[in-house]
């Protein structure tokens, strides 16, 4: 089976396209995603469509200024809606985020199918400003709104056999036109070691910039693992499975010589077709000076201990 081989990013793709923000679509997504229960208790004149109630977490937030909302929502990797950076914003309107269910299975005491409202209800939301680093040597600073993944996983009481957590994206070619092409073996699969999943930095995002997460950014539930490359941050999650064996994640299956299971940001290990030593921050312009890529994406102090004794060139 032929596989899509990602090409080198072109200079013309660095500046995000200017796309008019459709407020009606956001309102529809907010209502369809069950977000009305999360709207702030404010006077009607003060409430904004799709706005979320949250507290700001400064402990885990970068001090760098975030990208514009337009950058974040119009320059995306989401191959279920197309392989070009502008395709998700253009095509993701076909995704229906209500009703939405998540199936929990595997090595846990509590398993079954859970409605989105049941997944969200117990969790107070917070905003964290994280850097998203992609293997194409670009990055963004994004103010995510959501809750720690550990808080969700603990509810399912994983057993001692649960060494890993596997996630799957919705598979529905009618809603996700990119799945009509054999770019990857659908559905998209990702996974984390259980200690990575339980780390306080690991996050489930349901919003961005205080608003309900747009479809192109992974609505209604998206994983965020800030010290790893962006392809680990699986979108539109419908399945969580606790496993004893390491999951076979999609990009490693597709191209094992280019994409490893761990996907930790390591500037000392180049992608076979480009350097990872520096990065370009989207939104700063093509001629802006590139900046050095930081080990573990700048989160080494928090997560380096997870990989003590591991050869990070072998386990890339």
All structural domains of the chain: 13-307 (3.90.420.10)
Give the C-alpha distances (Å, rounded to integers) separating 26 from 22, 80, 129, 224. 7, 20, 21, 21
* DSSP helix, strand, coil percent of the chain (3-state; round to 5): 25, 25, 50
Question: Rounded to an integer, what distance in angstroms lies between the CA atom of residue 24 and that of residue 128?
Answer: 26
- Which pLDDT tens digit goes with each residue over 107-136? 999 999 999 999 999 999 999 999 999 999
- Bridging pattern class, strands 138-148 and 278-281: parallel
Question: Rounded to an integer, what distance in angstroms lies between the CA atom of residue 68 and that of residue 14?
Answer: 14
pLDDT at 104: 98
pLDDT at 18: 31
Per residue in 252-283, is it b (16+ CB within 10 Å) or e — as a string? bebeeeebbbbbbbbbeeebeeeebeebbbbb
238 is written with which tokens?
């419908």
Average pLDDT over the chain, rounded to whole? 87
pLDDT at 10 over 80: no
Q: What is the mean pLDDT of residues 232-251?
A: 98
Is the preceding omega at residue 187 within 30 degrees of 0, hence cis?
yes
Among 28-37, 96-105, 196-205, 280-289, the range scoring the smallest mean pLDDT is: 28-37
pLDDT at 171 over 80: yes
Q: What is the mean pLDDT of residues 168-195?
A: 98
């Amino acid at each position: 089976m032929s596989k899509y081989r990602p090409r080198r990013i072109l200079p013309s793709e660095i500046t995000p396209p200017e796309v008019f923000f459709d407020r009606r679509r956001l309102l529809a997504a907010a209502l369809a995603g069950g977000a009305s229960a999360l709207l702030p208790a404010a006077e009607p004149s003060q409430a904004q469509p799709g706005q979320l109630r949250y507290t700001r977490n400064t402990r885990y937030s970068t001090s760098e200024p975030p990208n514009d909302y337009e950058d974040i929502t119009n320059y995306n990797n989401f191959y279920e809606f197309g392989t070009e950076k502008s395709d998700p914003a253009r095509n993701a309107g076909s995704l229906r985020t209500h009703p939405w269910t998540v199936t929990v299975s595997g090595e846990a005491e509590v398993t079954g199918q859970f409605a989105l409202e049941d997944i969200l209800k117990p969790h107070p939301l917070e905003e964290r400003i994280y850097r998203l680093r992609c293997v194409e040597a670009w990055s963004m600073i994004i103010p995510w709104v959501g809750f720690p993944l550990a808080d969700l996983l603990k509810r399912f009481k994983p057993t001692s056999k649960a060494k890993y957590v596997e996630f799957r994206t919705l598979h529905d070619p009618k809603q996700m036109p990119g799945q009509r092409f054999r770019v990857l073996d659908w559905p998209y699969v990702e996974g984390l070691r259980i200690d990575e999943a339980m780390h306080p930095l690991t996050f489930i995002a349901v919003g961005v910039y205080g608003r309900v997460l747009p479809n192109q950014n992974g609505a209604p539930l998206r994983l965020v693992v800030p010290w790893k490359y962006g392809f680990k941050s699986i979108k539109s999650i419908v399945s969580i499975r606790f496993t004893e064996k390491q999951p076979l994640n999609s990009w490693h299956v597709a191209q094992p010589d280019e994409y490893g299971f761990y996907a930790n940001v390591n500037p000392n290990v180049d992608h076979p077709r480009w350097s990872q030593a520096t990065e370009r921050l989207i939104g700063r312009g093509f001629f802006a000076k590139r900046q050095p890529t930081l080990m573990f994406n700048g989160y080494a102090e928090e997560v380096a201990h997870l990989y003590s004794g591991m050869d990070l060139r072998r386990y890339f």
